[in-house]
C-alpha cells in the first residue's frame, strides 16, 4: 500500500526500510529480531517502507485451541494425492498413514522459520482426536496395518506448554535455549501412553515415530528413550545435533554437543538391552554463518572416529525471515559481533565436502 492510502496503527513496530537495509546490512538483523520479538506480542502490527510504499505485517492469528485443531483434523481428508496428479507421488507412501499430533515449536533455532508460520506456542491435538483419526485410517482401502509417524516439528513436544504466570512477560526467543526454561512443561510419558493406546486399536500392527525428537528434552525423561527404543523406533531415529562446535551451536540456538553424545550413549544402551539393532540418523549443517573450515574439520573428525559416513547433510541456504539469514547477509551475530561467513560457492562447497569426507580435508 502507498503511504497516503495506508491506515497503519500508530503503535505499529517500525522496521528498518528496504533502503536502510540495502545501505547497511546490519539493519536486516535489527528488522529480523524485531519481527521475532512480535511472537510474544500477538496484537502488534509491523510496517516496513520501500520508497513511497509500505509493507504491512498484520498480527498473527491466535494459536488454535485443542478443540479447533481437533475439528480441523476431523475433516474428511482422502489421504490421497490430488486427482490432477497422473503419475505416482513417491512421498505419499511415507505420509499417507502418518499422524500430525501438534503444530508449533519452542526451539527457536535461528535457521528455522517454524515460529513464523506455525508459532512458538505448541498447539496440540487431543488424545481422542488422534485415536479417532487412526480408527478412520484403518478403513482406508490402502491400509496395511502400519502408521509411519505420529509427531510434529519435534515429536516429543506434543502437549508442550508454558506454565509461567501471565505477569511473567516472557521475551525469550527460545523455550529450550540456552537451557530448557523452568516454566516449559511437556509430558513425554503421556506421548508413550498415546502410542501404546494406538497399538491396541483394531487392525493396527505397527506404530513408528519418524519425526525428529529433541534429544535435550528426551534426556530429562530417560525412561522415554528406553520405551521409544523398545517399541516405537522403526530401525532409525532422527536427531538434529546440526554441529559439534560450541560456537556454531550457540549461533544456531542448539543444545551443547555433549547432550547429543549423552543421548547416543543412552539410546545405544537401551537398544542393546532390548536386543534391537537400531541407528541414529543425525541431521547436520555445513557452511552455517559463523562456521569455519576448522569447525567442519572438527565435526568430520568426530564422525570418522565413530565410523559414520553422513548422508543427510544440508548446506546452509538463506531463507526469508530467519535470524541465520540476517547473520549470513550482515556478517554479524545477534549481538552485532562480526562472524565469518562462507558466501562464495567455492567456500560453501569446501565446507560441505569436508563434512562428506573429501580427500585431503581432514
Residue 314 lies in a domain: no
Determine the 3-state secondary structure of 212 from DSSP.
coil
Residue 313 lies in a domain: no
Once rounded to an integer, what is the mean pLDDT over residues 55-72?
Answer: 91
Residue 244 lies in a domain: no
Residue 51 lies in a domain: yes
Among candidates 360, 284, 280, 289, which has minimal Cα distance to 323?
Answer: 289
Strands, E, within 218-287: which ranges?
236-242, 279-286
Crossing angle, helix 188-199 and helix 127-137, to 10 degrees?
30
Ramachandran category for residue 319: left, alpha or beta (phi over 0 → left; psi -120 to 50 → alpha): beta
Among candidates 126, 240, 222, 109, which has minimal Cα distance to 175?
Answer: 109
Find which of 16-25, 53-62, 116-125, 346-355 is predicted with most confidence, using mean pLDDT.
16-25
The average confidence (pLDDT) of the chain is 92
Which pLDDT score, from 0 to 100, does residue 309 have? 87
Locate 85 and state its grid cell.
496428479
Locate 235 and state its grid cell.
530401525
Counted residue by residue, the chain has a size of 362
CA 9 to chain centre: 33
Ramachandran category for residue 169: left, alpha or beta (phi over 0 → left; psi -120 to 50 → alpha): left
- Least confident range from 2-11, 241-250, 252-261: namely 2-11
Which pLDDT score, from 0 to 100, does residue 358 have? 58
Residue 71 lies in a domain: no
> What tens digit of pLDDT does each residue of 10-59 get?
889 999 999 999 999 999 999 999 999 887 777 889 999 999 999 999 88
Whether residue 26 contacts residue 335, with contact meaning beta carbons closer than 8 Å, is answered with no
Residue 88 lies in a domain: no
Which pTM value belongs to this model? 0.92
Whether residue 285 contacts residue 348, with contact meaning beta carbons closer than 8 Å, is answered with no
Determine the 3-state secondary structure of 242 from DSSP.
strand
Once rounded to an integer, what is the mean pLDDT over residues 179-189?
Answer: 96
What total of structural domains would you count in the chain? Answer: 1
Which pLDDT score, from 0 to 100, does residue 6 have? 57
Residue 359 has pLDDT above 80, yes or no: no
Range of the domain at 50: 1-62
Strands, E, within the chain: which ranges?
13-14, 46-50, 53-57, 98-100, 102-103, 123-124, 146-147, 149-151, 161-162, 184-185, 206-207, 236-242, 279-286, 313-315
Amino acid at each position: 500500500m502507498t503511504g497516503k492510502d495506508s491506515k497503519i496503527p500508530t503503535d505499529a513496530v517500525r522496521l528498518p526500510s528496504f533502503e536502510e537495509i540495502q545501505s547497511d546490512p546490519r539493519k536486516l538483523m535489527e528488522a529480523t529480531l524485531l519481527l521475532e520479538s512480535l511472537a510474544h506480542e500477538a496484537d502488534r502490527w509491523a510496517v516496513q517502507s520501500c520508497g513511497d510504499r509500505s509493507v504491512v505485517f498484520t498480527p498473527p492469528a491466535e494459536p488454535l485451541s485443542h478443540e479447533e485443531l481437533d475439528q480441523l483434523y476431523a475433516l474428511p481428508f482422502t489421504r490421497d494425492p490430488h486427482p490432477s496428479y497422473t503419475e505416482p507421488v513417491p512421498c505419499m507412501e511415507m505420509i499417507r498413514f502418518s499422524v500430525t499430533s501438534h503444530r508449533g515449536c519452542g526451539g527457536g533455532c535461528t535457521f528455522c522459520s517454524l515460529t513464523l508460520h506455525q508459532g512458538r506456542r505448541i498447539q496440540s491435538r487431543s488424545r481422542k482426536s488422534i485415536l479417532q483419526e487412526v480408527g478412520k485410517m484403518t478403513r482406508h482401502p490402502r491400509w496395511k496395518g502400519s502408521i509411519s509417524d505420529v509427531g510434529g516439528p519435534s515429536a516429543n513436544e506434543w502437549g508442550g506448554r508454558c506454565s509461567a504466570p501471565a505477569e511473567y512477560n516472557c521475551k525469550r526467543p527460545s523455550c529450550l535455549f540456552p537451557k530448557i526454561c523452568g516454566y516449559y512443561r511437556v509430558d513425554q510419558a503421556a506421548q508413550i501412553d498415546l502410542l501404546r493406546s494406538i497399538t491396541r486399536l483394531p487392525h493396527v500392527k505397527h506404530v513408528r515415530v519418524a519425526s525428529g525428537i529433541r534429544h535435550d528434552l528426551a534426556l530429562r525423561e530417560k525412561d522415554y528413550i528406553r520405551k521409544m527404543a523398545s517399541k516405537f523406533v522403526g530401525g532409525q531415529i532422527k536427531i538434529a545435533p546440526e554441529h559439534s562446535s560450541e560456537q556454531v551451536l550457540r549461533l544456531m540456538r542448539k543444545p551443547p554437543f555433549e547432550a547429543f553424545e549423552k543421548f547416543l550413549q543412552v539410546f545405544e544402551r537401551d537398544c542393546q538391552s532390548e536386543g534391537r539393532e537400531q541407528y541414529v540418523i543425525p541431521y547436520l549443517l555445513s557452511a552455517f554463518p559463523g562456521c569455519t573450515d576448522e569447525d567442519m574439520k572438527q565435526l568430520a573428525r568426530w564422525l570418522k572416529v565413530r565410523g559414520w559416513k553422513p548422508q543427510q547433510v544440508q548446506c546452509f541456504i538463506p531463507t526469508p525471515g530467519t535470524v541465520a539469514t540476517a547473520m549470513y547477509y550482515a556478517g554479524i551475530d545477534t549481538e552485532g559481533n562480526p562472524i565469518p561467513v562462507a558466501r562464495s560457492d567455492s567456500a560453501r562447497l569446501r565446507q560441505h565436502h569436508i563434512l562428506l569426507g573429501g580427500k585431503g580435508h581432514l
